[in-house]
Chains A and B, each alone.
Chain A
Amino acid sequence: MPVELKTECESVDAEFDRHFGAPNSDLSAHARRHLAECETCRNLYGWLSTPAFPVSLSPELNGRIGQTLKSSLKPVRPVGSTRIVAAHLFLIFVILAAAVSPMMGGAGWQAMTVDQLTGVTAVLIAGAALLSFSLAWQMTPGSLQRVPAITAVAILAAAYLAVEAISFPWHAPEAFLQMGLHCLRYGLTMAVPAALLFGTLVWRGAPLGIETLGGTLGAFAGLLALTILQFNCDVGNAIHLLVWHGAVLVASALAGFLIGGAVSARQRNRRRTPAT
């Protein structure tokens, strides 16, 4: 097919897109002209326009499915809107961070300059809001996910690393391993109960991609642990923050993804059970 003709054909593709889901719309004059000239596109248009053959469903199957569902039919309360669910998650995040941080002394809070505090707080809050929405989208099938979950986690990680690298001084770290391992252990210890709490809330929905949901949930719990850690660790060194505090986020997200994968595989392999 010549290049010029190919470009013309592609312009008709856009026309096909416009037609799907837009009742009673007509083809533009340009598209009609092209279809008149191009047999290939006319064939495709013809195929796409041919009514799909109706599939008949056997009455037995209909009855069987109906019986199965009706045997456990109970009224259910629909979940709240995406915004409400996201707001709940975000609020719990903020309350936990605000309640636990002061209990632990807040040494990091006092060690940071105003610029550092502003930058870090902005990233942590924006990250929490983004992940709250991502979790709310994933809880409900058929939600329009404006930011894919993996992109949301990647944006958060990149923003956190960038702000730490820019705002904090790069010194040769003292007791790098010892202090770092202490922070990592501390962070992961907080991330586990946080993940369980958020997991309980998210499980009330009907998540479909459990691996991705696990990763996002892990990142959200890791972010809460990171927030508490950030305000309680007085090591204001970029290398320490990037490696060890960053590791809390990465390890939590990774663990969540792996656990999600295991849960998903288990669900898949389990024999079908009657509806509950």
Chain B
Amino acid sequence: MQALIQMPEPALNTVVGRAGEAEWPALMARYQQGDPDAVEDLIRCLSPYLIRFLAAPGLSKSDTEDLCQECWIRIHRARHTYRSTEPLLPWIFAVARHTRLDAYRRRRRRESREVLVAEPPERAAQKAPAAQEEQGRFDRLLTNLPDSQREVILMLKVSGMSLEEVARATSSTVGAIKQKAHRAYATLRRILDKERD
């Protein structure tokens, strides 16, 4: 029976393909030394991860890009605290996580002051290509998770980080991250079952 099961490939950890990851700490070290080429390389390598992580339900593309820019400014200001002997992604995501949290609080405060005077116009219907559809499904599944679980799944699945790296990025413990991930798996199982039915 086992042979009949089509196991998705590649394995979990390779879904992201952190290309050139081994060079990131060296790039960061060059950035700390003031090398402008290293800045560009880092932005090119890491921004896709950041955009993915910073995107939130209800946030437009331009808002997400603004947030990404803000995140890079914070990374720039904190760059002296990175040590090249440590993994880079937890350091980057710790900064990104706080950028996201602060933006969320700002947005909440702003929304609480605003009064809706008219319904916003509906967006023009777009013919979604398959990739966009799949992307939409991915986002929809994640939307059903509480924020704390969503960020853990995003870091694990999208950024391919290990449990320890996620614990570092969230100033938490490996046990707590494991617990959040397992709760998220349980919710995702329910949603995927519903989708199938």
Contacts and interface: CB of A to CB of B under 8 A. Distances in A.
A70 B36 contact: yes
Given A23-B13, A24-B14, A51-B16, A142 B93 contact: yes
B192 A26 contact: no
Contact of B193 (A43, A49, A268, A269): A43
Interface of B: 1-2, 4-5, 7-17, 32-34, 36, 39-40, 43-44, 47-48, 51-52, 65, 68-70, 72-73, 76-87, 90-95, 97-98, 102, 105-106, 131, 134-135, 138, 141, 156-158, 160-165, 167-169, 171-173, 178, 181-182, 185, 188-189, 192-193, 196
Contacts of B83: 78-79, 81, 140
List the 5 closest pairs (A to B, CB-CB), nearest first. Answer: A21-B162, A206-B78, A142-B91, A141-B94, A142-B90
B168 A142 contact: yes
Contacts of A115: none
A148 interface: yes
Given A20-B163, A35-B7, A40 B14 contact: no
Interface string A202-221: 00011011000000000000
Interface stretch (A55-63, A163-171, A229-237): A55-63
A9 interface: yes
A26 B7 CA distance: 11
B87 A43 contact: no
A1 B73 CA distance: 48
Interface of A: 9-10, 13, 16-17, 19-27, 32-33, 35-36, 39-58, 61-62, 64-66, 68-70, 72-79, 81, 137-145, 148, 205-206, 208-209, 267-269, 272, 274-276
A22 B13 contact: yes
Nearest to B176: A148
5 contacts: A13-B182, A55-B51, A70-B39, A142-B90, A145-B173
B193 A40 contact: yes
Nearest to B195: A43
B192 A53 contact: no
Nearest to A10: B182
Contact of B171 (A47, A57, A209): A209
B168 A53 contact: no
A262 to B, nearest CB: 14
A64 to B, nearest CB: 7
A90 B27 CA distance: 33
Nearest to B38: A73
Contacts of A138: 171
A61 B44 contact: no
A46 B8 contact: yes
Given A77-B80, A268-B105, A32 B2 contact: yes
